[in-house]
Amino acid sequence: MVDPMSELAGPADAATTQGAADVDGALLLLVDDDAPLRRSLQRALERRGFAVTAAESLKEGLGQAFAIKPDYAVVDLRLEDGSGIDLVKRLLELHPSIRIVMLTGYGNIATAVAAVKAGAVDYLAKPADADDVIKALLSNGPSLPPPPENPMSADRVRWEHIQRVFEQCNRNVSETARRLNMHRRTLQRILNKRAPRE
C-alpha cells in the first residue's frame, strides 16, 4: 500500500527547485490540527527553502501571525477551534499581501471555494504534496497552477475519502455507511480491500 504521507517528503522537481530559490527564507505559517500531516508538510516545505512556523489551531495560528508576519500561509479548512476561512480573513486583515493556500478534505470542496472567495489564492485536497502547495503559493494571475504530474486516481480519491469518514466515525461501519449513504455490506467489501494504486 502506498502511504500518501510519504509523498509529502518526495524530492522537489526542477521547476519547484527553481521556485524554492525565489522563496529562500520566506516566512510561511502552516496551520493544521492533523499532527502527522503537519510535521511531514513542514519538513518538506523547509527543505524547499521556506522558514516554516507551524500551529495546530486557529488561536495559535493567529498568535503566530502577529509574531512572525508571514509572507505565505497554508491553512487547513477545518480546525478544532474554528474555521480556516475565518483565519484566512484575519490573516489578510493583518498582512494584505500574504498568499494563502487552503487545505481541504475531499468532502469539503464547495466550502473550499468559499475560502478562495475569502482571499485564499487556491485550495488543495489533502494529503497535499509539497510541490503542489508551492506551485499554488507562487502562481501568478487569476489562473490556477498547472495540474499535478501524478495526481491520485479517482479510485484512490474515493478510497481515501471513505477511509477518512470511517476514521471520523471511530471505525464504526454502520455509522460510516449511514453517513456515506452506502449499503453496509458494500462498505465492508471496500474496507476489506487494499488501497487502489495511485
- The yes-or-no verdict on residue 145 having pLDDT over 50 is yes
* Banded pLDDT at 107 (limits 50, 70, 90): low
Q: Are strands 51-55 and 99-104 parallel, antiparallel or unpaired?
A: unpaired
Looking at the structure, do residues 41 and 120 belong to the same domain, yes or no?
yes
Number of domains in the chain: 2
pTM for the predicted model, two decimal places: 0.64
User: 21 CB contacts (<8 Å, ≥6 apart)?
Assistant: 49
For the chain, counts of helices (H) and of strands (E): 9, 7
> How wide is the angle at C-alpha 92 spanned by C-alphas 43 and 151, nearest 5°?
45
H or E segment to which residue 122 belongs: strand 122-125
The CA distance from 164 to 158, in Å, is 10
Residue type, 36: P
CA gap 189, 198 in Å, rounded:
20
Determine, yes or no, domain membership for 123.
yes
Mean pLDDT (the chain, rounded): 80
User: In whole angstroms, what is the distance from residue 3 CA to residue 95 CA?
Assistant: 36
pLDDT digits (tens, 9 = 90+) for 161-186: 888 788 888 889 999 999 999 999 99
Question: Residue 33 belongs to a domain with what CATH number?
Answer: 3.40.50.2300
Q: Which pLDDT band, with edges at 50, 70 and 90, does 160 fall under?
A: confident
Per the CB < 8 A criterion, the answer to whether 85 and 115 are in contact is yes
Q: Is residue 148 part of a domain?
A: no
Co-location of 55 and 108 in the same domain: yes
Q: Which domain holds residue 84?
A: 4-138
